[in-house]
Every structure is written in structure tokens, then in C-alpha cells.
Amino acid sequence: MTSSKTALIQKLNSKEATIGIVGLGYVGLPLMLRYNAVGYRVLGIDIDQGKVSALNEGRSYIEHIAGDKVRQARESGFEATTDFARVSECDAVILCVPTPLNKYREPDMSFVINTVDSLKVALRAGQVVSLESTTYPGTTEEELLPRVEEGGLKVGEDLFLVYSPEREDPGNKHFETSTIPKVVGGHTEECREVGVALYKPAIDTVVPVSSTKVAEMTKLLENIHRAVNIGLVNEMKVVADRMGIDIFEVIEAAATKPFGFTAYYPGPGLGGHCIPIDPFYLTWKAREYGLHTRFIELSGEVNRAMPEYVIGKLMDGLNENGKALKGSRVLVLGIAYKKNVDDMRESPSVEIMELLQAKGANVAYSDPHVPTFPKMREHHFDLSSEPLDSAMLADYDAVILATDHDSFDYDMIRDYAQLLVDTRGKYRNEKNADNIVRA
């Protein structure tokens, strides 16, 4: 056992280590709170001065994370900063930065690379660096390894390099950071041992794997599994609709089989940071090996076509009412990517809004979890959430139920919408409502 490794594991086990979390979003912020709660000093680092200021003032900017928890963390030693040089104070550096796709649907590694380039000069012997961002197999070895060794530190001896994919599910009350098992892969066996020591005090179950590539591929398999099955059920929704069959009734009947079937449900498209993006990370990397991942890419095509399918159903409904989409007033209900959260990442609702706008509709939205349309990298709407009432609903030519938040008054929506496009199956039992179009 190297002296650096022995000393670092002892610091982690005794909770004398300082944990640095780089990227304080939906992954980094819960992780910070967990390490703080179990007794570590935590330093949060983010390029967004607004986030840093909010945290240092004891405020949360994520709806399902209570401000009280942030205040308690501040009172017990947590601090946030935009100064990457302060990485030198940390014994562990956990990277939780975005890994989106570029306009060609290829991996955009700029956030990871820029982050590592910003902190590499502050790295020192006796630290562990863990990447949690979802990415393609080989990223840790190809992008992080050479950069962290630039200053002369040797990974596996002086510095320890780990990949441990994030597994957050915003708004899921059944799981929290501590109860979701943590997969950990190290660049060397020594790195893996340090990685296990890093996560074991904070996470109930740690799952060591043989390499960073295995850990990277594990995360992709988890989300590709979901993407492929959602693509399958979305395609079956289109077929069932054409045949006059209720796909939700079919799924519920199939789900009574006690083995060999897992229920997935259709919707207006895929959302969240993982499921719409991760398959393309693998398909891109597979091309380097001369492979064409046809099955994965086909599911991506099906899922990406869903917003267009919703617009087509809307146009059919408007046509029945003697109206064109161009010039119609359309209200989108729910713009977060899933129910009961404020998470807007890759939300299909936004693509629906852009398609509506491109076709000449006048677009508005209502979402109690997203009061104002946020600043996003690729999407821009100068809109605020409209308060729902009967007169307002009746004033729109059409209403699209895109995200089925529990707080919506579904009876009022049904009773007062001139045309209601249901993408979530909330009105599947409304047999006699002639204003409802199922999409």
C-alpha cells in the first residue's frame, strides 16, 4: 500500500478529509448535502456565481431540495466558491458537470474538459478525483488521465482516479442519494480501493467494478435499457392508436404477468439529462470500433419523433374544429421533463413548444414548478407560467397535457378546454369526452 493511498484512506475513514464537489446541480447538490450530513467538511465549486451566492446565503435553487437543508449545511461548515484553485484544499474532488450532446448529436465533452483544465494546476499528491458525469467508455482514461498527470503526479501512486456514475432520480421519494447503490471503477486497483473508501461512508451500498470503462458502460446500459423500452412502447402506442386500442389498458393487462415483463409507459418524448442523451454517447464511441448500433439508434429515432407525433394529433384535432394550427392559441401544460419536479433538462415539452412556434401558433405554458421559463443552452422563450382557471382554459384553441403534475386540476382542464391533447393517458377512461385527443 502506497503511503499516499494509506494516508488518504485513513483520512476518508476518519472523516478528516475535505470533500470537493465540482458542479452544484441536480447531482452535485444532493451529494454535497449527504457528505455534509455524515460529518465531512465539504467545499462546493461551480462556475455559476448565482448558485454559489444562493448556497452561501443558505438558499436552495432546486425545488425538491429544501432551503433548510442548505442552511444546516452552511451552519455545519459547507462553503461554495467559484475559485477552482481551492481544489488544493480538498482530499477528494468529485466532478458532477453536464455532458450534453452537440447539434450533431455527438458527445459535448467541453464541460468535463474545461473543468479538469481549470483545476488540474491545483491538484496535489494524496487526492482522489472522481468523475460522475455520464459519458462514453474510455473518457476517464482518454480525457482525464493525461490531464491530471500533466503536473508530474502519477495516477495510482500519488493521485487516484475514479469513475462512479451518478444515479439521481429527481422527485422520487422512494430513493435518495444514500440509498441508491454506487458503482465505482478505478483506473488501477489502488484507485478503486480509494474510490470505495470515498463513497462507503456516504452511500449504503458500494459496488466495485474492475475498471473505469466497466463503470462507464454500466451507466450507459442502465439508461439505454430504459430508452429502448420506452421507444418500443412509444411505437406500440402509435400502432395501438391506429387500431383503436388503448395502449394504457394493454400495458396494465400485461403488467399482471408476474415474470418476464416490466411496464414502461409512452409519452410525448424522452426527457431528463440521461435517457435522451446516453444512447448517443455509446453509438458515437462504437463507430470508433467499426460498429453500428442499429437497435439503439432506432429507439432514439422513435423517441425523437414523439413531439412531431403530438403536433400531428393536435393538428388533426384543430382540423375537426375547423381551425388551422397557424394563428391558434395553444397552452402547454407542464414543461418540466417529469411530473412534480422543476427539472427542465431535455424536456420534450420544450421541443413541442418550438414546433408550435415554428408552425405559427401562439404558445403559452402553465407549470406550477417552473414559474418562469429558465435560461437554457439551446432553447429561448420569454414566457412565465400562466395561472390556470376555467376562463383562461376556455380562451385557448387547444391545450396540450405534456407533463402530468399532480397539482393540476384535471377535472377543470377537461371541462373547460376547447381541445385537450392528452400525451400522458390521464384521460384514458373518459370515453364520452369529444374534446379529448389521445396522443
Question: Among all residues, which ones are annotated catalytic?
Answer: 274
Helix (H), strand (E), coil (C) string for the chain = CCHHHHHHHHHHHHCCCEEEEECCCCCHHHHHHHHHHCCCEEEEECCCHHHHHHHHCCCCCCCCCCHHHHHHHHHCCCEEECCHHHHHHCCEEEECCCCCECCCCCECCHHHHHHHHHHHHHCCCCEEEEECCCCCCCHHHHHHHHHHCCCCCCECCCEEEEECCCCCCCCCCCCCHHHCCEEEEECCHHHHHHHHHHHCCCCCCEEEECCHHHHHHHHHHHHHHHHHHHHHHHHHHHHHHHHCCCHHHHHHHHCCCCCCCCCCCCCCCCCCCCCCCHHHHHHHHHHHCCCCCHHHHHHHHHHHCHHHHHHHHHHHHHHHCCCCCCCCEEEEECCCCCCCCCCCCCCHHHHHHHHHHHCCCEEEEECCCCCECCCCCCCCCCCECCCCCHHHHHHCCEEEECCCCCCCCHHHHHHHCCCEEECCCCCCCCCCCCCEEEC
β-sheet bridge partners, residue 43 = 20, 79
In what order do the strands lie in the sheet containing 420-422? 362-366, 329-333, 398-401, 420-422, 436-438
